Chain A
Amino acid sequence: MKTLRYRYILDRLFLSFLVINTIIVILPLLIMSSYVIVNGISALNLDLFTQELGSPTRAMQGQPTGLVHTMAGTLVVDIMALLFAIPVGLGTGILLSEYPDHILNPVLRIMNDTLNGMPAVLKGLLAFVLIVKPMGTFSGISGSAALAIVMLPIIARSTESALSIIPWSIREAGLALGLPRWRVVLSAIVPAARTGLITGFLIAFSRAAGEAAPLLFTSFGNNYLPKHWTGMFFGPVDTLPQRLYSLAISPYEHWHRMGWAAAIVLFGFVVISFVIAHLASGNNLQKKGNSR
């Protein structure tokens, strides 16, 4: 028979086991972020934000090179992707939460989660076949489309949970006034849920902004700024994650340094939008999502 004391010792051992594991998980994150921050900050300079990359020789000869075209491209591609994804995700979220009895919903929910779980690289292949092949050229638009597919299911799901937090009685009150359903949703429910909605957009954005795989064969990459602004949409465009990959696997020492700089910019970009999203929601999105 186990004594009480023995059981309490087991309890303590169990807790220390949990704590040790927690530390084991957190530690690599701290080590990695400190490397990224230290190496990244030491590699940052003004040229990075004002110059184009150019060919590898440019860096070797000590001429100023930078990633201004990459940052511009990232902003264009990511924001355009968000603009593609928001209407579809919002519409789907509205269908899921405002018409809970709709026959499409069970299928839609499963398909949405499935799409969310699909590897991003496949979303890139899809955009390649559907857009790059017919257009005959790699393009910013195809990159945005691929990233939009990454964002879509996240936005749809978060919209659903953000809207379903709003009490059903508000909808009934609107309808009882003789308002059509769409008006109630757009003017009363969506504004009331706006914090949750924006949080969802930001989470989707931060997730997609870090993806390189779908961009490698859609927006492809480019060492220079496009000659004309339309090149941002209809020609190959550079983006941070994909450029970071190319720099890191390149054989040039200078480009490795620049890779660290790209890493801290990307890291900062993604982490800041992530932190804003979680601060905005007061970190309670998950609980609300589960409490239904």
Chain B
Amino acid sequence: MKINTINYELLKKPISLIYRKPGDRIFLSMAVFLGISIVLLTIVMAFVLYGESKEAITRFGVLGFPLKAVWDPAINLEFGALTFIAGTLFTSIGALVLSFVPAVAIAIFTAEYAPRWLSVIVDNLVNLIAAVPSVVVGIWGIFVFTPWMRDCVYMPFFSWSTDNFPALVPLLGNPIGFGMSTATIILALMVLPYTAALTRDAIRLVPREQREASWALGATHREVILMAVLPYSRSGILAGVILSFGRAIGETMAVAMLIGNKNTLPFTLFGPGATMPSVIINEFREAVGNIHYSSLMAVGLALFAISLIVNLLAAWISRKFAFAGGQMV
């Protein structure tokens, strides 16, 4: 019979080393090497930023640089980053405050109330907002949103307060349209999808028993959400908010295009300001002299430090959740 006549000599030959343990060793060491390169990138980033900003740090001091609000690249060559740190914190926190309630609301709506088809549509639209490039938001901001805000919101409010509340005017600042409030609103729009997606992930991780226990007590849907769902997912939501904060402080282009770029404190509500990424974008290409370049790098280092803290904090809070989905939006 044919079966028994197969020549198995080919099988008797020892297979090549690469198909045995040595091959596996090489494969694993390659994967480890590639993995380590990701770890190294973050570490190298810290070292590079520190190395490049050394000149500014030694000249203005480790604390002097971030705590001083001077930015004078033209005459005295004196630099301090407080203006930009303040600008970043104001816009980012403002954006989070503005976007938090709508983001959580949309997450609850899609995860709890909306029928399947509707939640798919809304989820995808929200993801789509996250996908719109920052510069595209920026050009819309420059040519449509800013003029509209100036004519329909800032100017009327400004003239109303000059008539009725003159004390308020210095706080409002110059209503040219480009400024802190415009940047903050746009920023809120841009971080909202992250907060929403991460909140949605956190809500979907709530075990069914938790909900059913509340339903069984005769709770209404709203009470189930307030009693069982939100308390259970609060650390996930918190981590999501922190990650969104990380997004907000790093958001560069739209803010740089809309904030008006004013390098001195104090900032006013409607008036122009600046953030850490925006000053890097605006001045890096024209940095005059080493100390200006080095100071911009030092701003980058400060941004790195804040961002690192924010991310590690979020990782620590969310260590029990798998956030792959939200992170990838």
Contacts and interface: CB of A to CB of B under 8 A. Distances in A.
B97 to A, nearest CB: 14
Contacts of B49: 122, 125-126
A200 B197 CA distance: 17
Interface in B36-91: 36-39, 41-42, 44-45, 48-49, 51-52
B173 to A, nearest CB: 21
Given A22-B106, A153-B38, A271 B21 contact: no
Contact of B42 (A98, A118, A203, A244): A118
Contacts of B35: 91-92, 95-96, 104, 108
Given A119-B249, A122-B300, A122-B304, A18 B138 contact: no
Contacts of A123: 45
Contacts, number: 301
Given A122-B45, A180-B23, A290-B322, A274 B136 contact: no
Interface in B212-251: 220-223, 225, 243, 246-247, 249-251
Interface stretch (B123-131, B151-159, B164-172): B123-131
Contact of B277 (A17, A157, A213, A256): A213
Contact of B32 (A102, A117, A292): A102
A241 B45 CA distance: 24
Contacts of B249: 119
Given A25-B192, A122-B300, A278-B124, A160 B324 contact: yes
A212 interface: yes
Interface residues of A, number: 102
A283 B252 contact: no
Contacts of A154: 327-328
Interface residues of B, number: 103
A271 B23 CA distance: 41
Given A10-B220, A256-B143, A149 B41 contact: yes
Given A245-B138, A245-B257, A248-B142, A91 B327 contact: no
B24 A180 contact: yes
